[in-house]
Structure 1
Amino acid sequence: MRSFYYVMTSLMVIGLAFWAYRENYETQEAQARSVEVQQQIAEARERLRFLNAEWAYLNRPERLRDLAEINFKRLGLLPLQPNQFGKVDQVSFPRVEEPLDIWSTVEVMDREAEQ
């Protein structure tokens, strides 16, 4: 009977060693994927910073003013004036409707289907 316990214990130790070996390699693989994802995130952030800088450069007011002057005949753009803005009391907000009062029940099933 002791030899049975020794064999079972040995098999359990071998099984746990195999499991630990597999877990170790899966963990290393997950860490490698994590490093790759972190690198991709860093590259995306760097590209985003570059695009934000480019956006700010292209939207400089003096550049936009020059483009509006160059393309005036085609676009007809004029500088904004204070009288072009509306007032809050001129905005037509949607009406607030009263909630519906439901006093009667609604039949969902047909009475004939129940019978």
Structure 2
Amino acid sequence: MRSLLYVLTAFAVMGLAFWAYHENYRTQAELSEARKLQSEIADLRERLGVLKAEWAYLNRPDRLRELADINFARLGLLPMEPRQFGDAREVPYPGLALLPVSDAVDTIAITGDNQ
């Protein structure tokens, strides 16, 4: 009976050793994958920073103004005028539809309620 207990204990120890060995390699593989992903994230963040800088460089107002001037005839762009913008009294506010437009704007200005 004792020898059977020794044999079962030996098999249990070997099984646990195999399991620990397998888990160790699996853990190492997952850590390696995590390092690769962190490296990829760092590279992508760096690339995103470069792209943001390039976008800011390309959208400089003086450059855009120059491009608009160069392509004025082809694009048919016109300078902006104040009359092209709307007035706050022209914006419809829900819940104030029964009031005249000027009263609605005055009510919003007084109460701050523009829901």
Aligned length: 95
Q: CA deviation at 1:42?
A: 0.6
Which runs of structure 2 are paired with 1:1-115 in the superposition (5 Å)? 1-92=1-92
Structure 1 residue ranges, 4+ long, deviating more than 2 angstroms after superposition: 78-83, 87-95
Question: Which amino acid in structure 2 is aligned with residue 68 of structure 1?
Answer: A
- Which is bigger in relative contact order (C-alpha 8 A, separation at least 6)? 2
The amino acid across from 1:81 in the alignment is E
Deviations 1:61-82 (A, max 9, x none): 0100011011111112233333
Moved more, 69-78 or 25-34: 69-78
Structure 2, unpaired ranges of 5+: 96-115
TM-score normalised over the length of structure 2: 0.75
CA shift, 1:5, in A, is: 1.1
Q: Whose helix proportion is higher, 1 or 2?
A: 2
Deviates more, 1:85-94 or 1:67-76: 85-94
Percent sequence identity over matched residues? Answer: 59
Give structure 1 stretches of 5+ with no counterpart. Answer: 96-115
Give the whole-Å Cα distance in 2 for the aligned partners of 1:56 and 1:31: 37
